[in-house]
Chains A and B, each alone.
Chain A
Amino acid sequence: MGRTIIDLKDIYKRFYIGTPNELEVLHGISLQVMEGEFVSIVGASGSGKSTLMNIIGALDRPTEGSYTLDGVNVIAAKDAELSQIRNRKIGFVFQTYNLISKTNAIKNVELPMLYAGIPGKQRIARAGELLELVGMQDRMKHLPEELSGGQKQRVAIARAMANDPAIILADEPTGALDSTTGRLVMDLFHKLHDEEGKTIVLITHSPELAEETERIVTIKDGNILGERKGTGR
């Protein structure tokens, strides 16, 4: 194991600050993720795992604490810099796929590269490779509405890989899928981890899925309850 990719120290997150409804969701969480690790964050709903994911994904800033992602201080970043961090360092995979409708698979995969300013030809070549990697090479020109749930999620994973990010952040990626297709999607994550050496953070409420990862971090009531090794497969 090499460098630390995610370095969270004493992260607090409070909402409605200064009002009678002030609510502390995260109570000083510290977490490190090494390069090439496959980590899962597990917790029941309301445990604060979504809030933590938003902070890791640079969608939100913590109220207190420090966060370094792949050597970049995320806390100090301005809005435009946060956009860039999300673009270059993070690949999101959502439970509901969030593909852009009316836009075919290859254009969807191209999108993060478009925002990164990569020229058209290069984008198309890279998007083609990625769709092949996830086994969607025959569906490149299909619109999201013409794809099944599992296919959509594979396109979404290809999209997450577009700018070769430091981490892949997957939020309940199998939550909307049946167990068979869910299995295929999980296999794809393992493939990315094993063959491409990707650092993957999987957020889930399912203990079985978490068991497949290398390290399981359990969150309860805004604190890390414990950590243990998983099977890694």
Chain B
Amino acid sequence: MIYENIRLAVFSLKANKMRALLTMLGIIIGIGSVIAIMTVGDSVTATVTESMSSLGANNITVTLEEREDADADDESVQMGMDWGSSDEDAKQPSQEDYITTEMLRQMKDALGSSIKAYSISEQVGAGQIQQEADGATAEVSVKGTSLGYFLANDMNLVQGSFFSEDELQNGAMVALLSEKALDDLFDGDVTKAVGSTVNLAIDNKYYNFIIEGVYEESDDATQNMYAMFMNHHATDLYIPLKTAQEINHSSGYQTLTVVVDPNENPDQVAAQIESFFANIYRNNRDFEVSAMSMASMVSIMETMMDTITTAIALIGGIALVVGGIGVMNIMLVSITERTREIGTRKALGAPNSSIRVQFIIESIVICLIGGAIGILIGCIGGIAAANYIGASAVPSVKSILISLGFSMAIGVFFGYYPANKAAKLNPIDALRYE
């Protein structure tokens, strides 16, 4: 009976190919866009999560932040003016608010062996380096780093050495070069590069640096994505932190990464770090220090991505509802056209229920075929888009199953009313229908 109905449904679709296709189009577009969005969303989430956790599940990010309650205290005088603290009216930390080297030393003493290292970096800015010998240039983004930075980011050198303790303490004019910059400046000749002097131009000032080493560039998808979106082709040039502070005339840090001993629970250590700084900053009205483990950052990010994906997918869902209404419309037309057939079936003894089932199945078949085509198009589109932005594509099995179920539900929901109308036709009137 069911098989018979499916066969009949396919027959009547074949009889009106153009009409069936147009009807399905709504479902195809709806399902296709939902699937594509889910695929891209899932791929980006998976890629970003993967690269974040590979960067260091044992890392804790410590950040100097404006106190939320301090903000409220200040603004209470000028009530009604606070429309949410945007960056513009956010306070800038002054020199005495910054996290100091002294604090970090104390922190290391207080927390002992649970901290393996800490990594600090300070952005100096974008600049251009020039090779002294033949004037070849490369775009770089200059970053001052502590030794822990290389450990936290799992970095390796192709040649040369990391900064020595001495160089770090004295703010030596030494630098680590990326492989890309190496290609630009020295045609990839590592031995020639290490030990040679380059000229850095930044903010119309010029500095001479000695190349101490060349680091391996990670093929990190997130960074590639970022580079693509931001049209950002400069690679990092690492210099000792102290040197960067001297160039910037700064003495403290706003943010650092703590590498936790693998045997310790990062969330616990994060809480300890936070309470350590809470004690130091208890008299600071405007700023406090927060510490967050990579795991909790990843989970926050995942939640955020999920919310965004769901919100966009819901908009795609509206197309589905519109498609469903199209299906209902065509079912009503089809029933009117086949009134005599319905009358004949009833005269031959078809109970109302089997007429109803016949038309609901027809509606489900339209929606399922449309859904299947939509899933196909959505997957292709989603994978193409994911590949384009450089994420590894993961067509979400979950969303495919949900879509199939959903298109079937649309078939039932929007097919029920027309089918019921057919089932309730008076056989005499239906037989007489011209």
Contact = CB atoms under 8 A, between A and B. Distances in A.
B280 interface: no
Contacts of B207: none
B8, B12, B348, most chain A CB atoms within 10 A: B348
A173 interface: no
B340 interface: yes
B344 interface: yes
A99 B347 CA distance: 12
B421 interface: no
Interface string B343-363: 111111111101000000000
A23 to B, nearest CB: 15
A79 B348 CA distance: 14
Interface stretch (A86-94, A192-200, A224-232): A86-94
B354 A102 contact: no
A1 interface: no
A100 B341 contact: yes
A79 B352 contact: yes
A60 interface: yes
B352 A86 contact: no
B18 interface: no
Interface residues of B, number: 22
B15 interface: yes
A54 to B, nearest CB: 5
Interface stretch (A107-115, A124-132, A146-154, A214-222): A107-115
Contact of A60 (B343, B344, B350, B428): B428
Contacts of B427: 59
A101 interface: yes
Contacts of A57: 347
B349 A83 contact: yes
Contact of B349 (A60, A98, A99, A115): A115
Contacts of A88: 349
Given A59-B428, A60-B428, A102 B15 contact: yes
A157 B340 CA distance: 18
Nearest to A88: B349
A103 B344 CA distance: 13
Contact of A112 (B341, B348, B354): B348
A87 B350 CA distance: 7
B4 interface: yes
Interface of B is mostly: helix
A231 to B, nearest CB: 30
Contacts of B348: 86-87, 92, 111-112, 115, 159
Contacts of B206: none
B1 A114 contact: yes
Contacts of A112: 348-349
A4 interface: no
Nearest to B351: A83
A115 B355 CA distance: 10
Contacts of A86: 346-349
Contact of A116 (B8, B346, B349): B349
B350 A115 contact: yes
Interface residues of A, number: 27
Contacts of A94: 344, 347, 431
B388 interface: no
Contact of B344 (A54, A87, A98, A116): A98
Nearest to A54: B428
B226 interface: no
Interface in A133-186: 159, 163
Interface in B317-372: 340-341, 343-352, 354
A83 B346 CA distance: 7
Contacts of B351: 80, 83-84, 115
Contacts of B340: 98
B354 A115 contact: yes
A160 to B, nearest CB: 9
A57 B346 CA distance: 11
Nearest to A162: B348
B347 A92 contact: yes
Contact of B431 (A79, A98, A116): A98
B347 A59 contact: yes
Interface in A68-91: 79-80, 83-88
Interface string B418-434: 00000000011001000
Interface string B9-25: 00110010000000000
B1 to A, nearest CB: 7
Nearest to A160: B348
Interface in B1-55: 1, 4, 8, 11-12, 15
A61 to B, nearest CB: 11
B350 A83 contact: yes
B11 A83 contact: no
A53 to B, nearest CB: 10
Nearest to A99: B344
A115 B345 CA distance: 9
Nearest to B14: A102
Nearest to A57: B347
Contacts of A92: 347-348
Contacts of B12: 102
A80 B356 CA distance: 13
Given A87-B348, A94-B344, 8 more contacts: A59-B427, A98-B343, A98-B347, A98-B431, A111-B348, A115-B345, A115-B350, A115-B354
Interface of A: 54, 57, 59-60, 79-80, 83-88, 92, 94, 98-103, 111-112, 114-116, 159, 163
28 contacts: A54-B428, A60-B428, A80-B352, A83-B350, A83-B352, A85-B349, A86-B346, A86-B347, A86-B349, A87-B348, A87-B349, A88-B349, A92-B347, A94-B347, A94-B431, A98-B340, A98-B344, A100-B341, A100-B344, A102-B12, A103-B11, A112-B349, A114-B1, A115-B345, A115-B348, A115-B349, A115-B350, A159-B348
